Amino acid sequence: MIREARVGDAHAVMKLHERSVFGLCQGDYTLEQLEDWVSLSTLKVYQLRLENHRAWVAELDKHTIGYVRWNPETNELCSIFIDPDYTRRGLATKLMAIACEDAAAQGVEEMWLDASVTAVPFYKILGWQFVENRMHGSLACVRMTLRLRQN
């Protein structure tokens, strides 16, 4: 089941973020980098994100297994995380479609994101375009954009 996220989902989303980062990104980043990455997203930070952004969670048997969030102020796709036990089943693609359809319905023409090195192939498959390589602290990332609507 996929539903809109609520502030009360903050703890489950934070734990999903940790599972996803440590379970899926170890081949591209050091353990220290992964620890730094997840340390930035505290429970309070997630509560604020869920209050101010558009977000959805995917649940299975009352467990959060997927999450997507975008910021309507900046048109940034901020987060998409999948539990490592549920990857390669189309869940990330479905969550991405929900976020992009929501953004398009609100008049957004183009979204942007800073992708982890791990996620770049996934985004490319969905049509996101390379803009530039970037750094977030010690994390190498890739700025990408996706055109949602034609002018």
In this predicted model, what pLDDT tens digit does every residue of 33-70 receive, in sequence order? 999 989 888 999 999 999 999 999 999 998 999 999 99
CATH match for 2-147 among 3.90.1170.50, 1.10.3720.10, 3.40.630.30, 2.30.110.10: 3.40.630.30
pTM: 0.92
pLDDT band at 138, cuts 50/70/90?
confident
Q: So what's the pLDDT on residue 150?
A: 59
**CA angle, corner 43, sides to 87 and 26, nearest 5?**
35
Which among 77, 117, 84, 83 has a CA at the least distance from the CA of 99?
A: 77
Give buried/exposed letters for 121-142 (b at 16+ CB in 10 A, else e). ebbeeeebeeeeeeeeeebebb
Model pLDDT for residues 60-78, shown as the tens digit of each residue: 998 999 999 999 999 999 9
Q: So what's the pLDDT on residue 147?
A: 97
Residues 133, 115: Cα–Cα separation, whole Å? 9
Which among 135, 79, 74, 145 has a CA at the least distance from the CA of 112?
A: 145
Token reading at 98: 């929900």
Domain range annotation of the chain? 2-147
Residues 23, 90: Cα–Cα separation, whole Å? 18
Question: What residue type is assigned to position 70 of the chain?
Answer: W
pLDDT band at 12, cuts 50/70/90?
very high
Model pLDDT for residues 114-131, shown as the tens digit of each residue: 999 999 999 999 999 999
Residues 47, 42: Cα–Cα separation, whole Å? 9
Q: So what's the pLDDT on residue 76?
A: 98
